[in-house]
Amino acid sequence: MALTFYWYPKCGTCRKAKKWLDEHEIAYEAVHIVENPPSKAQLKDYYEKSGLEIKKLFNTSGQKYRELGLKDKIPALSEDELLEMLASDGMLIKRPILAGDAFALFGFNEEDYEKNL
């Protein structure tokens, strides 16, 4: 199973997830989410695999999210517009993302990692 791990090195949650993966000797391809954000098509795939509401894909505690006033804008936008927005800026995406063939996890929850790996 090929795993892709999108992360931001300055993010504490990302570092915690990376440490968990390393301690469990799980192989993955690390991708810097700001320098190489997932494409709109990848995000759509991850969104569908995650089973989450699309608004849960946003980094709601991020500065960029607040600056853009997205809390009020998200309900009025289409899924396509939201995916486009997420793909345009890695800082808007909830991180880390761990994506496998049949799943995509946003954020880090140890139980979810154990269940899927």
Range of the domain at 107: 4-116
114 pLDDT tier (thresholds 50, 70, 90):
very high
Mean pLDDT of 100-104: 96
> pTM of the predicted model, to two decimals?
0.95
65 pLDDT tier (thresholds 50, 70, 90):
very high
CATH number at residue 66: 3.40.30.10
Number of independent structural domains in the chain: 1
Rounded percentage of the chain residues whose pLDDT exceeds 70: 99
SS (H, E, C) the chain: CCCEEEECCCCHHHHHHHHHHHHCCCCCEEEECCCCCCCHHHHHHHHHHHCCCHHHHECCCCHHHHHCCHHHHHHHCCHHHHHHHHHHCHHHECCCEEECCCCEEECCCHHHHHHHC
Catalytically active residues, by annotation: 11
